[in-house]
Amino acid sequence: MKGLMNPMRNIRKPSVSASRDRRLEPREYEKIEDALVATGNRYAAPAFDSAIETSLRQETLFSLRWEWVDLQKRLIRIPLSARGAENKGVPAALPLSTKAYAVLLALHPADAAGELQVRPIWPVLDTTQNAVRCIWKRVLPLLGVENLRWHDLRHEAASRLFEKGLHSFEVASITGHKSMQMLKRYTHLKPESLVVKLG
C-alpha cells in the first residue's frame, strides 16, 4: 500500500569474510630468511621460523616463556592463563618440529646451566616484538615480496602440516583450531605437493 515503509529496505546482506590464501612462493622463504639474518637482529629470523613451525599467532609466539618449554620432550605447555578465556587458536601442549626445536636450542640462554630459567624466550617483550614487526615491514618491500602479512605465516604453517601427511585432528591439535571449518580456511594446499602424493 502507498505510504507504508518497505521492511526490506533496512536489511543488509552479511558481509563475506575476506579469506586469504597467501602462501610463500618458491624461493621466498630463503630470500626472507637471509634478509632477516642480514639485519643483525638475532630474533628476527628465529621469530620468522618459529611462526611457520609452530603456527602460533604473533601475540602468543612472543609471549612464550622458557619455563613452559620441555626441550627433552620437545613440547611447549602453554598454561590456561596464557591461552586467554576463549582459548582462540592456542593449544595446551605444542609439539616441536625438528626445526622449531633447533631454533629454541639456539636461543636458549647460555647461562641456564642446562636448566630452563624463569624468563621470556623473547626478552623485553614489547621491544622485541615491535623490533621484529618493524624489520618485517621494512624488509619485504626491499625484497619485492608483495601482499604477505605476518598472519599469513599461520596459513603457511597449517598448510605445511597437511602436506607432511598429518590428519585433520592432528593438525587442529597443533594449530588450536576448534572447528574443521576454521581449519579449512587456514589451509591452502599446493597442487604440486598433491601431485607427489598421487604418484
Q: In the structure grid, which three cell numbers stand for residue 13, read together?
A: 546482506
What's the CATH code, domain 28-149? 1.10.443.10
In tens digits, the chain (199 residues) has pLDDT values of: 566 667 666 676 655 455 678 899 989 999 999 999 999 999 999 999 999 999 999 989 999 999 999 989 999 999 988 887 565 678 889 999 999 999 999 988 766 555 556 788 887 666 788 899 999 999 999 999 999 999 999 999 999 998 888 888 888 888 888 777 777 776 676 666 666 666 5
Half-sphere exposure of 90 (CA within 13 A, CB side): 21
Taking alpha carbons only, the member of 149, 157, 164 closest to residue 186 is 157
Domains of the chain, by residue range, sit at 28-149
The reported pTM is 0.81
Q: In the structure grid, which three cell numbers stand for residue 45, read together?
A: 629470523
Q: In the structure grid, which three cell numbers stand for residue 167, read together?
A: 590428519
Contact 80, 42 (CB under 8 A): no
